[in-house]
Structure 1
């Protein structure tokens, strides 16, 4: 893919001129840059999506309690809540995104998409999308390649890491990837796919990374659910023809600019934001004490 372009404008130009689907240049990138066969790539995408589906299922059926105590089966609580604020489909989306991310926080198996801290967003959105629209796995697999292409461009022009660009770079990028994949899977054109990316970035811009006690649990898990919701809403607006006004490449540039200017304490250091609240500091002390390993006195005879 980097052989062809480094921005969305070039990606669109290439696919418009060649008639290739959006996923094809990403597939070519994997083949040419990584020396992989096409069959190998499709097989591994299928495996990755299976892991995503397993993470969603695990989060909704198994005991999801983390050692810190901050994670306590939130996904199941949402799924089984007797009071319904959301539509059944929306509720399902939120619970699935929560569930997959809780699996990560409880040391389960997930797909970093693009990071482990954002590992609930693509699983939650794509499994829900597939079920709602009865999409074949192949469509989702192509959508995952499109999502990967979106991440490659964001990575080159901004960042995917919370330690570099704040949570906007992690959950924001994951939501942008998901929104673009959703529109692609539903047959949206290139402009609509990239509009979904642009709208999503606009909605996530400026979000800080402030994990309580330095753990990717609070507020990371609930942000995965919120980001999944933003991905769905952005995709809906884009596919309906809503204009993002600011071109997608300029939105990515803004993402990078905001990330660069963000204070260090808001970049995964647990020194600012929610991580610096009194309650967070209490939790931090408790977690640190729990994790202290008592070693034998070196002067003691053995």
Structure 2
């Protein structure tokens, strides 16, 4: 197959007719696209999850200070603060999402899931879910395939890049992937998985991409934290069998329509939103001056 599915409805029908789990057609698609055996695909997924968990550990234990100064070990501060707003688990969840994303912002190794700008969301979600519910690695690997299937359909019908659809396409898609993965891991039905995706998209529609100084640091890192919170709330709602009302495929269409109509300055250009504030412009100027200062002297 040249593509996985055109939409979520086709994915659901295919799995129901063939009496197979949601991850199975994604696994087969990966085998066909990569020309690899099933064992090789599972090995690749295992490695990807290992990189995700390592990014969390790196972000929580090593110095995460970016050259711009906008990233300054925020994840560790959240993880260690004695003030617990909701629960220790929630505190650790958002700290882990920030940690993995800070590793990306500081040029460390991450998994783009689906993009580098949203690289803290799936790691934070899956690592925390596994810790709380004591899930086997195999279940997490299956959930990663489900998440990949979600991303493929969103990419086909709306887009997953900030330059195409704003941050709704990046952190929004990653949160939707994570919400679906949570519901899958906890035994939800296919309809509940897709409801979680739909609800998450509904909660992130219209989110602009406005990186300060053009760097994937502010507000990207805190949006990864908010992304995991939205994913967990959407999963909780879906697992209670609350209907999303607007079907998931129509939610994706809405995301695509909004992305197309969004002004260019709100799509990863650093020309609008937070990037265009007085402070944002001042930071951009400072970063530009630093970059100029380190250029080699070509006349030497």
TM-score by length of 1: 0.97
In structure 2, C-alpha distance between the alignment counterparts of 1:90 and 1:240, rounded to whole Å? 20
In structure 1, C-alpha distance between the alignment counterparts of 2:177 and 2:279, rounded to whole Å? 33
Deviation at 1:35, TM superposition (A): 1.2
Q: Secondary structure at the match of 2:252?
A: helix
Deviation at 1:3, TM superposition (A): 5.2
Counterpart of 1:43 in structure 2 is 43
CA shift in 2, pair 1:177/1:294, >3 Å: closer
Q: Secondary structure at the match of 1:197?
A: helix
- Per-residue CA deviation, residues 157-194 of structure 1 (Å, 9 max, x unaligned), is 00000000000000000000000001001111100000
Counterpart of 2:15 in structure 1 is 15
Counterpart of 1:24 in structure 2 is 24
CA shift in 2, pair 1:108/1:16, >3 Å: same
Q: Secondary structure at the match of 1:79?
A: helix
Counterpart of 2:277 in structure 1 is 277
Counterpart of 1:250 in structure 2 is 250
Q: Does 1:210 align with 2:210?
A: yes
Q: Does 1:264 align with 2:264?
A: yes
Q: Report if the CA contact (8 A) 1:4-1:10 is conserved.
A: no
In structure 1, C-alpha distance between the alignment counterparts of 2:298 and 2:5, rounded to whole Å? 59
In structure 1, C-alpha distance between the alignment counterparts of 2:282 and 2:147, rounded to whole Å? 39
Map 1:110-129 → 2, pairs under 5 A: 110-129=110-129
In structure 2, C-alpha distance between the alignment counterparts of 1:3 and 1:200, rounded to whole Å? 24
In structure 2, C-alpha distance between the alignment counterparts of 1:248 and 1:184, rounded to whole Å? 16
Q: Report if the CA contact (8 A) 2:121-2:174 is conserved.
A: yes
Q: Report if the CA contact (8 A) 2:210-2:274 is conserved.
A: yes
Aligned length: 299
Runs ≥4 residues deviating over 4 A? 1-4
In structure 2, C-alpha distance between the alignment counterparts of 1:188 and 1:245, rounded to whole Å? 18
Counterpart of 2:161 in structure 1 is 161
In structure 2, C-alpha distance between the alignment counterparts of 1:49 and 1:24, rounded to whole Å? 18
Gaps of 5+ in 2: none
Counterpart of 1:287 in structure 2 is 287
Q: Report if the CA contact (8 A) 2:4-2:26 is conserved.
A: no
The Cα RMSD (Å) is 1.1
Gaps of 5+ in 1: none
- Per-residue CA deviation, residues 111-141 of structure 1 (Å, 9 max, x unaligned), is 0000000000000000000000000000000
TM-score by length of 2: 0.98
Q: Does 1:101 align with 2:122?
A: no
Map 1:52-131 → 2, pairs under 5 A: 52-131=52-131
CA shift in 2, pair 1:185/1:2, >3 Å: farther
In structure 1, C-alpha distance between the alignment counterparts of 2:203 and 2:18, rounded to whole Å? 32
